[in-house]
């Protein structure tokens, strides 16, 4: 079976927060709160992205490493991915909302795959739905608002560094209260819906509940699950001083490194022709 599972390393994921105004224009260094909320605000202004993404994610058999090239249009949502000869196209409302995939191995025919299905989800932290800025932006916003008046106790501006050849602000989020608690499953809940409700990682739920096989396990009302009380124990964000996006994000839990995303050759709101989100585009080989 071809390795379809590499297709959806996104990006997220966490592909984060962009804007057009730079704090670098200021004569004074901004506070950690200014940087974070500017980053969140930039999400609302984002239209399109191009970038190369390097990913490290903790999996069942160790760490998985992936690289991809991405084009993304935010509204309406359109995605093109290239990964070592594999091409993927997803456009909202097109192809029954399935990803159109050209594999680089057997069966060598184009396929239409459910972004939430097993072939595109196995041993992965995120899906096509989390690619871009919105999902991770909501996680960061939730964290910032949750801390409230104690924001500065958890979030620190730890200086400026040059990362991935870009000048960045280094932001540290240190969740001193990170731990696990018991969650009682309600009506019609799934691993994904619980993760979204609590703003935590669904993959982490799988890790700490060994009896769960994968994202598709059917949960019963009243079932007890162990869940983390936050998305991460420790987060290091390197925020680009020009565009206010994370050039690098490193997530740790109580076991150590959980996931890391590094962005290269970033283009913010570039011109992307509509044809580049069609399977007949001249540069594609669907």
pLDDT at 105: 84
DSSP state of 150: G
Q: Across-strand partners of 272? A: none
- Res 27: pLDDT: 55
pLDDT confidence of residue 122: 83
The size of the chain, in residues, is 286
**Splitting the chain (286 residues) into consecutive groups of 10 residues, what average pLDDT does each group show?**
42 37 58 95 92 95 96 96 96 97 88 93 91 85 92 96 94 96 97 96 96 94 98 95 92 97 94 97 96
Domain ranges of the chain: 4-178+230-277
DSSP string, 116-181: TSGGGTTT-S--GGG-SSHHHHHHHHHHHHHHGGGHHHHEEEEEEEEETTEEEEEEEEE-TT--EE
Report which of 180, 163, 179, 173 is spatially closest to residue 238, judged by C-alpha positions. Answer: 163
Domain 4-178+230-277 CATH assignment equals 2.50.20.20: yes
């Amino acid at each position: 079976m071809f390795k379809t599972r590499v297709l959806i390393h996104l990006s997220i994921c966490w592909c984060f927060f962009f804007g057009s105004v730079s704090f670098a224009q200021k004569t004074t260094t901004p506070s950690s709160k200014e940087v974070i909320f500017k980053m969140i605000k930039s999400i609302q202004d984002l239209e399109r992205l191009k970038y190369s993404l390097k990913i490290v994610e903790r999996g069942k058999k160790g760490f998985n490493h992936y690289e991809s090239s991405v084009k993304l249009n935010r509204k309406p949502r359109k995605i093109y991915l290239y990964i070592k000869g594999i091409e993927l196209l997803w456009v909202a409302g097109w192809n029954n909302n399935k990803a159109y995939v050209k594999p680089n191995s057997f069966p060598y025919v184009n396929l239409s795959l459910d972004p939430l299905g097993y072939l595109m989800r196995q041993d992965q932290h995120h899906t096509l739905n989390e690619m871009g800025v919105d999902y991770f932006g909501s996680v960061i916003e939730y964290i910032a608002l949750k801390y409230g008046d104690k924001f500065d106790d958890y979030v620190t501006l730890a200086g400026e560094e040059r990362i991935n050849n870009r000048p960045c602000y280094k932001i540290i989020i240190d969740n001193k209260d990170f731990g696990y608690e018991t969650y009682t499953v309600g009506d019609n809940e799934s691993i994904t819906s619980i993760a979204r409700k609590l703003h935590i990682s669904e993959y982490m739920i799988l890790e700490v509940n060994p009896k769960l096989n994968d994202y598709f396990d059917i949960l019963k009302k009243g079932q007890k699950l162990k869940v983390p009380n936050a998305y991460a124990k420790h987060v290091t964000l390197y925020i680009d001083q020009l565009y206010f996006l994370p050039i690098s994000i490193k997530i740790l839990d109580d076991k150590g490194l959980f996931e890391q995303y590094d962005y290269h050759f970033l283009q913010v709101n570039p011109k992307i022709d509509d044809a580049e989100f069609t399977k007949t585009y001249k540069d594609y080989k669907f």
